[in-house]
Chains A and B, each alone.
Chain A
Amino acid sequence: MTPSRFKKILLILAVVLAFGLPLVLRSPTYLHILIMLFLFAYMTTTWNLVGGFAGVLPLGHSVFVGIGAYTSTMLWLQWGISPWIGMIVGGLIAAAVGTLIGLPTLKMRGAYFALATMAFVEGIRVMVENIDKLGPFVLNGPRGLNIPPLPEGSLAAFQFASKEPYYYIILIMLLLVVGLTWRISRSKMGYLLMAGGEEPDAAQALGVNVTRYKVMAMALSSFLTALAGTFIAQLTLFIYPKSVLTLDLSFELAFIALIGGRGSIAGPILGALLLRPVSEFSRIYLSATLPGLHLIILGAILILVMLYQPRGLQEPITRFFDRLAARFGNGNGGTEEKA
């Protein structure tokens, strides 16, 4: 067995395990925690297309989550259009908005992009909070939108009586988007995107239209992030500006990506795997006794990781698996695949 084969088997095992888990784990609470974990892994992976590969720092990706959530919900409530279709429509609107933000700001250095994306979320949130009706659509301002639950569940309505379907939907979405990111990272687009993100002048001299690639990545990332918005709306059946259009969510995606490892495939997943449980449990167990302590822990983790592993925790963890693979996969044989 070669090391790369060993790694492939580990990967397949992990996927099989993920698919089999709901058969063993019957508790809806734990399933919900896993769903949230996959959801954050998904959103961070789509964030990573811009924040990792294009080398800028988006701090407003929740605006796309919000666009996705609101679009599909408004279409469903007003015209009874299936959220599956609304999901795509929301994605397209998000892609257009992402392009619009990206075109002027991605030409400049990163600071402007970070601030612009931040201001954009805040601006949109304040606006949505002030609008009760938009044309034919009800927005309900700060009170948000309720989706009337269908107790029986319905595939067309993107509503299910139990947690399992949601689990499988987000798991498949995550696998697809990870596969897509993997493909991109090995394609011309990925190379040129990363080159432009690191040294724009050099990349331009080597024939790369840096801004164009960054804007393309931004559009794709916005589209995919918005799909998660529809998923959140259908999972919780209740959305309001402070749930989907917040800076907190935007920052959390950036934190997960940076702790896991920006610009790598495994980073966002690892980051979600490590950070979600920590923040979830510390919030539950600590916030009652010592308010704010969980955020102090988060801040400390951030600083320590940036100080000692600026490329994120994926680096030592990948190294560990490489060594493991070399040992179990009879190291010196076989051609190791280069990442």
Chain B
Amino acid sequence: MNMLEIKDLTKDFGGLRAVDSLDLSIGTGEILGLIGPNGAGKSTVFNCVAGLFPPSSGEITFDGRRINGVKPWNLCKAGLARTFQIVKPFATKSVLFNVMVGAFAVTDNTDEARERAIEVLDFLHLKKRMDMRAGNLTIADRKRLEIARALATGPKLLLLDEVMAGLRPTEVDEVIAIIRELKGRGMTIFVIEHIMRAIMALSDRLVVIQFGRKICEGEPEAVACDENVIKAYLGEDYAAS
């Protein structure tokens, strides 16, 4: 069974169609990459899946259950976690506090939540920063904290929205290693990313969208050579030469 099924998803904002009859599915344990030029509607797809906006039409099924219009907090409890493109830490609180909030999605006990949070922080190499104020973290650490919080909720499906943007190459490699490790643990992962090197290395499959429509889908190597994709990214002149 697929972890996530999107059928004929459309999302309008006023007169603007951000996502246009998109079909998409992610198998259990798979890493699917979603790419496309700026403004293609990638984040809108995420926001619809994560329950931030209800879809205008179409159907989203997560783990065998229809989730149109289900609230974000209920989705999180059902095992769907996300990160935000613009990170939103609880800035005045400690790093540990931030991750414990995520851990409370699976436990009511403060000590258990703390243990769980420390485990996750350790996994993300953030344990040494756990008493720091989250607002004082570097960009790279903030991005990692964003992942840590989502992981602490114990997700089956993880939605990563540009978690590598703004990182240095070595830091990107670190995050790639972390995501691979998560896949090794059987987690299903849905990634939006602009850094081509990272998404090519990570994804089992890629979906490319432009103006809210899917223009290509397939293995990373195949997608990279696809004529429509090259056109979308580089413009007409470069295609079919």
A touches B (Cβ under 8 A): yes
Query: CA of A144 to CA of B149 in the docked complex: distance in angstroms?
Result: 54
Segment with Cβ contacts to B, from A110-118, A192-200, A290-298: A192-200
Which chain A residue has the least Cβ–Cβ distance from B88?
A202
Q: Contact at A205–B76, with CB atoms within 8 Å?
A: yes
Q: Is B177 an interface residue (CB 8 A)?
A: no
Q: Interface on A for B, CB 8 Å cutoff?
A: 186-188, 191-192, 194-195, 198-199, 201-210, 311, 338
Give which listed residue, B76, B82, B100, B150, contacts A191 with CB less than 8 A: B100
Q: Flag if A187 contacts B110 (CB, 8 Å).
A: yes
Q: Does B97 contact A (CB under 8 A)?
A: yes
Against A, the Cβ 8 Å flags (1 = close, 0 = not) of B79-118 are: 0011010001111110001001110110011100100000
Min CB gap B179→A, angstroms = 19
Instruction: State whether the Cβ of B236 lies closer than 8 Å to any Cβ in chain A.
Output: no
Asked whether, in the complex, the Cβ of A207 is within 8 Å of the Cβ of B50, the reply is: no
CB nearest to B149 among chain A residues: A206
Task: List 17 interface pairs A-B (beta carbons < 8 Å), by A numbering.
Answer: A187-B110, A188-B104, A188-B110, A188-B113, A192-B104, A194-B93, A198-B90, A198-B92, A201-B52, A204-B71, A204-B72, A205-B50, A205-B76, A205-B150, A206-B149, A207-B76, A208-B104
Given A191-B101, A208-B101, check contact A199 B50 (CB 8 Å). no
Tell whether B77 is near chain A: CB-to-CB under 8 Å: yes
Known contacts A187-B110, A191-B97, A198-B93; is-contact A206 B88 (Cβ 8 Å): no
A205 near B110 (CB under 8 angstroms)?
no
Chain B residue numbers with a CB within 8 Å of A204 are 71-73, 76
B100 CB to nearest chain A CB (Å): 6
Q: Tell which of B81, B104, B109 has the most Cβ of chain A within 10 Å.
A: B104
Q: Which residues of chain B are within 8 angstroms of A187 by Cβ–Cβ distance?
A: 110
Contact between A209 and B90, CB atoms less than 8 A apart: no
Q: Is the CB of A188 within 8 A of B102?
A: no
B8 within 8 A of A: no
Alpha-carbon distance A301/B113, docked complex (angstroms): 40
Contact of B73 among A198, A209, A311 (CB under 8 A): A209
**Given A186-B110, A195-B90: A206 touches B50 (CB 8 Å cut-off):** no
Q: Look across to chain A and name the residue whose beta carbon is closest to the beta carbon of B87.
A: A202
Is A207 in contact with B92, judged by CB distance below 8 angstroms?
Answer: no
The complex places the Cα of A188 from the Cα of B113 at a distance, in Å, of: 9
B153 at the A interface (CB under 8 A): yes
A201 and B84: CB pair below 8 A?
yes
- The winner among A188, A199, A202 for most chain B CB atoms within 10 A is A202
B131 interface residue, CB < 8 Å from A?
Answer: yes
Q: B101 and A206: CB pair below 8 A?
A: yes
User: Contacts A195-B90, A206-B104 given; 15 further ones with Cβ under 8 A?
Assistant: A188-B109, A191-B110, A194-B90, A198-B90, A199-B88, A202-B89, A202-B149, A203-B101, A204-B72, A206-B150, A207-B76, A207-B77, A207-B105, A208-B73, A208-B104
**How many angstroms between the C-alpha atoms of A308 and B105 in the bound complex?**
37
If the complex has contacts A188-B104, A192-B104, are A207 and B90 also in contact, measured as CB distance less than 8 A? Answer: no
Using Cβ atoms and an 8 Å threshold, which residues of chain B touch A203?
A: 90, 101
- Distance A201 CA – B72 CA, assembled complex (angstroms): 9
Contacts of A201 in B (CB 8 A): 52, 84, 88
Write out the residue numbers on chain A whose beta carbons fall within 8 Å of the beta carbon of B105. 206-207
Residue pair A199, B89 in contact (C-beta under 8 Å): yes
Point out the residues of chain B lying under 8 angstroms from A210, CB to CB: 73
* A311 to B133 alpha-carbon distance, docked (Å): 14
Contacts of A202 in B (CB 8 A): 84, 88-90, 149
CB-based closest 10 A-B pairs: A207-B105, A207-B76, A202-B88, A195-B101, A204-B72, A198-B90, A199-B88, A206-B102, A209-B73, A188-B104
Minimum CB–CB distance for B131 against chain A, Å: 7
**Interchain CB contact under 8 A, A192 and B110:** no
- In the assembled complex, the Cα of A187 lies from the Cα of B110 at a distance in Å of 6
| A199 in contact with B90 given A207-B73, A209-B73 (CB within 8 Å) | yes
Write out the residue numbers on chain B whose beta carbons fall within 8 Å of the beta carbon of A206: 73, 76, 81, 101-102, 104-105, 149-150, 152-153
Bound together, the chains give a CA A206 to CA B84 distance in angstroms of 11
B contact residues around A191 at 8 Å (CB) = 97, 100-101, 104, 110, 113
- Set of chain A residues within 8 Å of B150, measured between Cβ atoms: 205-206
Q: Which of chain A's residues have a CB closer than 8 A to the CB of B102?
A: 206-207
Contacting residues of chain B (101-154) with chain A, CB-CB under 8 angstroms: 101-102, 104-105, 108-110, 113, 131, 149-150, 152-153
In the complex, chain B residues whose CB is within 8 Å of the CB of A205: 50, 72-73, 76, 81-82, 84, 150
A205 to B110 CA separation, bound complex (whole angstroms)? 20
| B71 CB contacts on chain A under 8 angstroms | 204, 209
List A contacts of B91 (CB < 8 A): 198-199
Nearest neighbor of B159 in chain A, beta-carbon distance: A205
* C-alpha spacing A195/B92, complex, angstroms: 10
A283 to B91 alpha-carbon distance, docked (Å): 39
A228 and B209 CA atoms in complex are apart in Å by 60
Contacts of A186 in B (CB 8 A): 110
Minimum C-beta distance from B104 to chain A (A): 5
A151 CB, nearest partner CB in chain B, Å: 51
Report how far A276 CA is from B97 CA in the complex, Å.
33
Q: Which residues of chain A come closer than 8 Å to B113, judged between CB atoms? A: 188, 191
**Distance to closest chain B CB from A315 (angstroms):** 11
Give the residue name and chain of the B residue nearest to A208 (CB): B73
